[in-house]
């Protein structure tokens, strides 16, 4: 009788000889070391190239100031000069009169400012430049307000920055008035700040 053949036991993994395992392990470590060396070389080259790269800034071209900006800046200097003239309580009166004359009819400044404002709607830099020039006028007027003593009649109880803003806006609004009403509007402004006795 023939003996039954045994089926091969596949549950046990075939083991490689010790020498083959050591050779494979050594080969793997050599490959890993070689790849790390290549990676370090790449990092070194990228660092050198990044360090040697020069960034050249493009020249910034500032737009030329408009005629309205130049006139506003000139007006700001003239108003600020009134504060340095030591005119006492009359400095603020003179500043209001100067602003009313600059913006009232038939002055051309309001039209120039309006045209510059329309053209600057699509240009943020031009918008900021025009606003900055107007702000210099307000700051000059604020300097006059801060140096002017209070009159016999109390003026509106606000800080100097707010009062200068209100006075500038009131003088700018005179541009919309007929020439015959300018004197009355200026008198109303002066009464508001307590520099002209109220009538009536």
Taking CA atoms, 181 is separated from 73, 92, 120, in Å, by: 27, 21, 31
pTM exceeds cut of 0.75: no
Of the given ranges (88-97, 102-111, 129-138, 177-186), which has the lowest mean pLDDT?
A: 88-97
End-to-end Cα separation, the chain, in angstroms: 146
Domain limits of the chain? 67-192
Q: What is the mean pLDDT of residues 89-94?
A: 86
pLDDT of residue 2: 53
Are 138 and 79 contacting, i.e. CB atoms less than 8 angstroms apart? no
Is the per-residue pLDDT at 200 higher than 50? Answer: no
Is the per-residue pLDDT at 44 higher than 80? Answer: no
- Residues 23-33 have pLDDT tens digits of 555 555 555 55
Give the integer Cα–Cα distance in Å for 38 and 33. Answer: 9
Q: What is the mean pLDDT of residues 172-178?
A: 95
Beta strands in the chain (DSSP E): none
Is the per-residue pLDDT at 110 higher than 60? Answer: yes
């Amino acid at each position: 009788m023939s003996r039954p053949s045994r089926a091969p036991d596949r549950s046990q993994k075939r083991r490689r000889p010790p020498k083959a395992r050591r050779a494979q392990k050594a080969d793997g470590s050599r490959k890993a070391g070689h790849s790390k060396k290549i990676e370090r070389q790449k990092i070194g080259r990228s660092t050198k190239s990044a360090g040697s790269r020069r960034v050249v800034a493009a020249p910034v071209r500032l737009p030329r100031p408009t005629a309205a900006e130049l006139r506003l800046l000139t007006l700001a200097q003239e108003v600020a000069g009134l504060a340095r003239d030591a005119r006492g309580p009359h400095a603020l009166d003179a500043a209001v009169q100067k602003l009313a004359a600059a913006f009232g009819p038939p002055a051309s400044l309001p039209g120039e400012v309006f045209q510059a404002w329309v053209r600057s709607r699509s240009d943020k830099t031009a918008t900021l430049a025009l606003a900055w020039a107007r702000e210099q006028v307000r700051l000059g007027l604020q300097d006059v307000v801060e140096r002017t003593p209070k009159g016999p009649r109390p003026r509106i109880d606000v800080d100097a920055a707010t009062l200068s803003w209100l006075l500038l806006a009131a003088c700018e609004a005179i541009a919309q008035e007929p020439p015959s009403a300018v004197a009355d509007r200026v008198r109303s402004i002066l009464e508001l700040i307590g520099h002209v006795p109220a009538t009536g």
